[in-house]
C-alpha cells in the first residue's frame, strides 16, 4: 500500500520570516494527518533549509532540498553536498526538476549522479521527469519519460532504487495554470510503473510512489489523486499559500 505523498517545492521564493512561518503553519495544521495517513515534505531554498528544518523538527513534516551536488566535498564553489544536507536535517532531495533541466541545462547524466549521491548520502531523492509541449505534440511523451527514467536511474540496484520517488511533471503544465487532465497523468504514471517493473521487479514497481506535478491546486488535487497510479502531488505555486497547501494535503490524505 503506497502512502500518499504531498511535497511543496517553494522554488526561489520566501524569505527568513515567511519560510519559517509557512512551514510552522503547515506542520501545526496538518499534524493529525501527517505520518499516519500521508507523507508531507517542504522544499525551501537552500539558505532557509536550516531554519525551516529546526522550525518543524518536532513535527512529522519532512524537509528536502531542491537540488544537491554529487561530489561529497571539496573545491566545487557554490555547490552543496548530500552530507551537508543530511547534517542540517534534510530527508529528501529533488533531482532533475524541469527548471534545472531546461533553465540551468542539467543533463540526464548529471541528474543520475545526483540521484546516486543522494542515496549514498542517506537522503531520499525525488527524480523528476516530464516532456516539453513540443515533445507531447510530437507524440514523444513516452519516449522522453522512458529516457529520463532509464538514464536517471542508470547503474542503481533495486535496493537503491527503493529509496527513490518519481515525480511526473509535464513541462507544459508547470506554472502555466494548464494542469494535465487526470487521465493524461494516469497514462504517464502507468507507463512509469510498468517501466519500473521491467527495469527492476513488480514488487519495486508496486511500492514506488509516483507523484504528479504541474499547476496542482486545491481545485484539482482530489481528481488527480483519484487515479490509481497517482500516489501524490508535487506542488509549486500553491505550496506557498498555507491554506491552499493544507487543502491539497487534506484532499490527498
Smaller CB separation from ligand 13P, 152 or 236: 236
C-alpha cell at 34: 501527517
Using the rule CB under 6 A, give the single segment among 49-57, 117-125, 198-206, 208-216 that binds ligand 13P.
Answer: 208-216
Q: Nine-digit cell at 25?
A: 503553519
Q: How many CB atoms lie within 10 A of CB 35?
A: 15
Q: What is the DSSP letter of 104?
A: I
Q: Residue from 106, 135, 169, 244 that binds ligand 13P (CB under 6 A)?
A: 169
- Residues 64, 92: contact at Cβ < 8 Å? yes
Q: Of 99, 106, 131, 169, which one is the catalytic site residue?
A: 169
Q: Annotated catalytic, 17?
A: no
Smallest CA-to-CA distance from 153 within 128, 172, 189 is with 128
Nearer to ligand 13P, 66 or 200 (CB): 66
Annotation says 189 is catalytic: no
Burial of 201 (0-12, 13-18, 19+ CB in 10 A): exposed
Task: Pick one of 38, 180, 235, 253: the residue that binds ligand 13P (CB under 6 A).
Answer: 235
**Shortest Cβ distance from residue 217 to ligand 13P (Å)?**
8
Helix (H, G, I), strand (E, B) or coil at 213: strand
Closer to ligand 13P by CB, 44 or 237: give it: 237
Rounded least distance, CB 201 to ligand 13P, Å: 28
Packed helices 108-120 and 141-152: angle between N→C axes, nearest 10 degrees? 40
Cβ at position 178, least distance to ligand 13P in Å = 9
Specify the residue, 7 or 38, whose C-beta has the smaller distance to ligand 13P. 7
Among candidate residues 214, 211, 192, 194, the one with its CA nearest the CA of residue 252: 211
Residues 1-20 close enough to bind ligand 13P by CB under 6 A: 9
> Is residue 216 a contact residue for ligand 13P (CB under 6 A)?
yes
* 233 scored as a contact of ligand 13P (CB under 6 A): no
Alpha carbons 229 and 187: distance in angstroms, whole number? 9
Active site residues: 97, 169
Binding site for ligand 13P (CB under 6 A): 9, 97, 169, 174-175, 213-216, 234-238
Amino acid at each position: 500500500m503506497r502512502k500518499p505523498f504531498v511535497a511543496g517545492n517553494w522554488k526561489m521564493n520566501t524569505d527568513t520570516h515567511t519560510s519559517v512561518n509557512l512551514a510552522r503553519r503547515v506542520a501545526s495544521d496538518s499534524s493529525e494527518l501527517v505520518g499516519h495517513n500521508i507523507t508531507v515534505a517542504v522544499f525551501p531554498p537552500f539558505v532557509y533549509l536550516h531554519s525551516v528544518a529546526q522550525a518543524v523538527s518536532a513535527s512529522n513534516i519532512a524537509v528536502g532540498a531542491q537540488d544537491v551536488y554529487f561530489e561529497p566535498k571539496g573545491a566545487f564553489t557554490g555547490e552543496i553536498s548530500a552530507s551537508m544536507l543530511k547534517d542540517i536535517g534534510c530527508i529528501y532531495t529533488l533531482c532533475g526538476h524541469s527548471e534545472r533541466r531546461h533553465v540551468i541545462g542539467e543533463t540526464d547524466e548529471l541528474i543520475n549522479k545526483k540521484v546516486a549521491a543522494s542515496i549514498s548520502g542517506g537522503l531520499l531523492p525525488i527524480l523528476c521527469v516530464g516532456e516539453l509541449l513540443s515533445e507531447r505534440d510530437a507524440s514523444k511523451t513516452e519516449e522522453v519519460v522512458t529516457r529520463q527514467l532509464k538514464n536517471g536511474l542508470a547503474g542503481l540496484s533495486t535496493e537503491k532504487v527503493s529509496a527513490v520517488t518519481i515525480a511526473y511533471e509535464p513541462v507544459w503544465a508547470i506554472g502555466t495554470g494548464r494542469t494535465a487532465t487526470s487521465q493524461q497523468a494516469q497514462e504517464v504514471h502507468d507507463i512509469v510503473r510498468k517501466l519500473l517493473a521491467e527495469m527492476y521487479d513488480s514488487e519495486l514497481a508496486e511500492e514506488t510512489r509516483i507523484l504528479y506535478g504541474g499547476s496542482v491546486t486545491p481545485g484539482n488535487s482530489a481528481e488527480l489523486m483519484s487515479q490509481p497510479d497517482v500516489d501524490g502531488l508535487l506542488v509549486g505555486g500553491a505550496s506557498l499559500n498555507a491554506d491552499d497547501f493544507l487543502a491539497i494535503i487534506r484532499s490527498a490524505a
